[in-house]
Chains A and B, each alone.
Chain A
Amino acid sequence: MTDASSRLRSRGQLLVAIGLAMLAVLLLIVALGPSIAPYSPSATSPNSLDGPTALHWLGTDSIGRDLLSRLIVGGRGTLMITFVAVALALAAGLVLGLLSGYVGGRVDLTIMRLLDVVFAFPVFLLAIAVVAALGPTVKNLILTIAVVYTPAMARVVRGPVLSVKRWDHVEAARSVGVGEFAIALRHVLPLVVSPILVQTSLILANTIFTVTALSFLGLGPPPPDPNWGSMLAEARQFMELAPLTVIGPAVAIVFASLTFIVLANGLREMLDVGSR
């Protein structure tokens, strides 16, 4: 191992450690949610559009609801949608990518061309169209995001599968009577995990943006349930009166997507993805 690559590796480990710590904070918010929020997210108080005070650390919104509580509970919703949607995209991408890359031939051609159709649209545009057509419910939001990110996932699985399936140990496994299904799952899939991890992390970061942006446009989960996107949209309306109310949701969104970007970069350097 060269010096440069080991230095890169230890830098990667540091980034992964930071990313995991940030992820722990996010997961804590998702897990505890309402129980750590100081107020009910829908409880109003007479002080509307207040700046930060001892009672309301982040201030209150236009009808006097506590912003910190809404941020915590809203984060739970935003992150849940993100995690479930990306998990679905990952599952679909794994199945399609593995099938496509491993079986090859017509199967590959058919799957990849179908995915290309989805891939050809800008993710965000497609998401807006689908959610607008189906109606903005949590279920539709999750399904839409899963669908628009499936092609990116499938491609990242397919690429390395194409090369790994030609490696000698695959033929060696076949020569001792291992079936194709078992070869794909046990002798190919475990070798392509690294790029998949990196990609999943990157897609998580993108999905945070997509989910909050859709909510910002009013295509997110319906009110009164709080979420970061709609909080930002609402705060924007009163920005001249209460500029500080924008900061909470904005920082939360950046923090969440930064978590996954840091994680993705760390994983990439640690696992040496791309140089193999």
Chain B
Amino acid sequence: MTGKPASLLEVRDLTATFHRDGAPSRVVNGISFDIAPGEAVGFVGESGSGKSVTARAVMRLAPEGSSIEWGGRIRFQGQELLSLTEREMRDVRGRRIAMVFQDPMASLNPVMSVGAQIDDMLVRHTGVSTRAARKRTVELLGLVGIRDPAIRADDFPHQFSGGMRQRVLIAISVSCQPDLLIADEPTTALDVTVQAQILRLLMRLRRELGMALMLITHDFGVIAGMVERVYVMHRGDIVESGEVDTLFAAPKHAYTQALLAAVPRIESTRRPA
């Protein structure tokens, strides 16, 4: 990647402060980063490093039951997201920025058929009729690799395996062809073999739909083949960033080195004592 392309997402001095029982606690300390159109960017860090909160900041989603204060600037396609009203923000969510969550078992409404949940999205954001939406829903389910999509659309979430549910969630999130897809630990809750399938699916969709991808993970193994650039987060700060190959070959920051050293290697001959 040469030069600096025009940014799709431009975040400057982002802060996130939780207010709980009157005592403010800052979990993101003024970080800045960019994502170019169509680019795949990884955010790595341990639990509590602020990477998920950063992802939610872009969607302006506060965890339920908490009050959170955002600071700084988040410019998406030249629009300042932090100054939008909640109603305007609802049009951004799902249509221009979409998100895939960690736990596919819990992220679908258990009492609605999966097809109806995708239909809902399409009707809400594109204003098509329910009938037209269903046609598109079946296409989307096919796109994410669900077999017999026309029949499966009427099934309920409990009739799908974890991997299949994540596929359905991905179908929901790409249904309105967003420009940016945020994936927050999309494979953490899945089997290793299924993880690879889901990652391949995300890669393929990103290519086919020309989306930018913001991939949040604690797993360097997931990052490796997926993204072009990486931001390493630690305690609410970005401690290191760079092209993925450079960073892997020569991590500068001590924390990045420690993270990389924590990845188990198959060729390693060391045994635990």
Contacts and interface: CB of A to CB of B under 8 A. Distances in A.
A268 to B, nearest CB: 19
Given A170-B64, A172-B101, A172-B169, A177 B108 contact: no
A167 B223 CA distance: 28
Contacts of B64: 165-166, 170-171
A168 B103 contact: yes
B169 A177 contact: no
B110 interface: yes
Nearest to A180: B86
A173 B120 CA distance: 10
A187 B111 CA distance: 8
B214 to A, nearest CB: 13
Interface string B65-98: 1000000000000000000000000111111001
A4 interface: no
A175 B93 contact: yes
A175 B99 contact: yes
B106 A167 contact: yes
Given A168-B101, A170-B64, A187 B121 contact: no
Contacts of B107: 168-169, 171-172
Interface string B121-134: 10011000000000
Contacts of A169: 106-110
Nearest to A162: B65
B61 interface: yes
Contacts of A167: 106
Size band of the A side of the interface? 20 to 34
B161 to A, nearest CB: 17
A176 B182 CA distance: 12
Q: Kindly name the residue among A167, A174, A191 whose own CB sees the greatest number of chain B CB atoms within 10 A.
A: A174
B110 to A, nearest CB: 7
Given A177-B124, A177-B125, A168 B106 contact: yes
Contacts of A187: 109
A7 interface: no
A46 interface: no
A224 interface: no
A190 interface: yes
B111 to A, nearest CB: 5
B153 interface: no
Interface in A173-197: 173-179, 186-187, 190-191
Interface in B139-165: none
Given A104-B65, A169-B110, A190-B109, 13 more contacts: A168-B106, A169-B107, A171-B63, A172-B107, A175-B94, A175-B98, A176-B93, A176-B124, A177-B125, A186-B109, A186-B120, A190-B112, A191-B109
Interface of B: 59, 61, 63-65, 90-95, 98-99, 101, 103, 106-112, 120-121, 124-125, 169, 172-173
A-B pairs with the 3 shortest C-beta distances?
A: A176-B94, A177-B94, A168-B106
6 contacts: A165-B64, A166-B65, A169-B110, A171-B107, A177-B95, A187-B109
